[in-house]
Amino acid sequence: GASDEKRATMRLLPNLLSRFVKNGRLTVIFEDGFRQAFGSGQDGPDVTIRLTDKAVEREIFFNPELKAAEAYMDGRLVIENGGKAFDLLSLFSVNRTGMAAHPVQKALRKVWRALRRRQQNNKLGLAAKNVQHHYDIPTKFYELWLDETMTYSCAYYTAPDSSLQQAQMDKHRHIAAKLKLEPGMHVMEIGSGWGALAIYLAKYCDVKVTAINVSTEQLAASRLRAIEAGVAHQIDFREVDYREVSGQFDRVVSIGMMEHVGVVHFDSYFTTISRLLKEGGFALVHAIGRMSPPGTTAPFIRKYIFPGGYVPALSEVFASLERTGIWCADCENLRLHYYWTIHDWRLCYEAGREEAVAMMGERFCRMWDFYLASAELGFLNGSNFVFQILISARRDDVPIIRDYIVEEERRLLSSMQTSA
């Protein structure tokens, strides 16, 4: 009746949700039992959530992206009827434009933009701490849901139904082909993860690799994996920040690392890569980008997942190359590939979730539910994609026609099949 209507207009959260949720349906059960539904019920999922206390309603109104995640992690926002974080985030995802238009949200984003240089100031020492925050947790946790190569970056799906493992191997082959490697070359890898690419290059391209990383945990695991693969003598895994590396290399490769650099340091990142290249050499950078103008990192990701991280707009990447006087010889955009990758990760993670909870605890795993779901949807409905650029000092250091990439991929594939 009238009193219900009055209660609804007095509440802050319904004010935001009625403007924000247009597609699908979100039903909210407030802590006093009051229930309200938002949205058309069309073109999106139907999700019911329950808020367990009064404060959470106000918190979510003022900072929905961060506080909804935290409330879910703490069990103060409960998804009813067996729903998952993915269902709630799918609903957010198909309504994302409505939220950004709300005056309170507009003001918040303005503040974030003003602070972004400070948030991404990954100076020496702090950069390592930020990376360790994400990677120095037990390798066993990642083993639960990554493929056997332990590759934690966007795969390359030559077909949408490729297995995750196949798509990661295809990615390594695609990158190796672009690098146009010859036996005996020396490659520098900046940000080497669990060593999968370094091992692939050593094994199938017969090159030497110096692979650097600031995560102690990952380096220890990488060294063991290189021994198992029989290529330990070809790879030097080193714990060092990219800015402190010396020497010169035939090729430089950096996968999923630029997202950790921070907009303040793009010029220094590209200048470092350029300094590490021998004359005539070139580099490949693979990173997540956004097809929208420059922005900021979502508060949940910034606080819990990748402190100091930032996904650049291509305009920021190219502006930095212009300032540093470096040629971009090639740019390829992988659009749906990361959506397929994270979708596969999420299914593997959900299949092993009980084991994950036993290892890391329920709150951590709820954080991971939220992270994987929001990342997957960002590549499906949001503005994210992955780009690969080839960069060099001179305009003709990279072959002038791209056909060499396809030819080299075919050659690598047949040599892999023979060695198998």
Q: Which of 169, 176, 166, 214 is nearest to 193 (CA)?
A: 214
Residues 135, 70 share a domain: no
Residues 49 and 148 in one domain: no
Per-residue pLDDT of the chain (420 residues; tens, 9 = 90+): 545 554 544 577 888 888 889 999 999 999 999 999 999 999 999 999 999 999 999 898 888 889 999 999 999 999 999 999 999 999 999 987 755 556 665 666 566 566 656 655 556 655 555 544 444 588 899 999 999 999 999 999 999 899 999 999 999 999 999 999 999 999 999 999 999 999 999 999 999 999 999 888 899 999 999 999 999 999 999 999 999 999 999 999 999 999 988 888 999 999 999 999 999 999 999 999 999 999 888 888 888 888 888 999 999 999 999 999 999 999 999 999 999 999 999 999 999 999 999 999 999 999 999 999 999 999 999 999 999 999 999 999 999 999 999 999 999 999 888 876
In the chain, how many domains are there?
Answer: 2
Look at residue 119 and tell me if it is in a domain.
no
pTM given for the model: 0.89
CA–CA separation, 144 and 111 (whole Å): 38
Q: Which domain holds residue 12?
A: 2-98
Domain assignment present for residue 8? The answer is yes
In a shared domain, residues 91 and 131? no
Q: What are phi and psi of 236, to 5 degrees?
A: -110, 105
Whole-number Å distance between alpha carbons of 85 and 72: 8
> Could you tell me if 215 and 338 lie in one domain?
yes
Residues 302 and 407 in one domain: yes
Q: How would you label 99-131 residue by residue, b for 16+ Cβ within 10 Å and e otherwise?
A: beebeebeebeeeeeeebeebbebeeeebbebb
Whether 49 is in a domain gets the answer: yes
In a domain, 149, yes or no: yes
Chain centroid to CA 383: 13
Q: In this structure, what CATH number is given to the domain that contains residue 12? A: 3.30.1050
Q: Is residue 116 part of a domain?
A: no
CA angle at residue 173 from 171 to 175, to 5 degrees? 70
Residue 337 forms part of a structural domain: yes
User: Would 117 be classed as within a structural domain?
Assistant: no
pLDDT tens digits, 212-260: 998 888 999 999 999 999 999 999 999 999 999 999 999 999 999 999 8
Cα distance between residue 267 and residue 318, in whole Å: 10
Report the CATH number that the domain containing residue 356 is assigned in CATH: 3.40.50.150
31, 64, 98 - which closes a domain = 98
Contact call for residues 313 and 289 (beta carbons, < 8 A)? yes
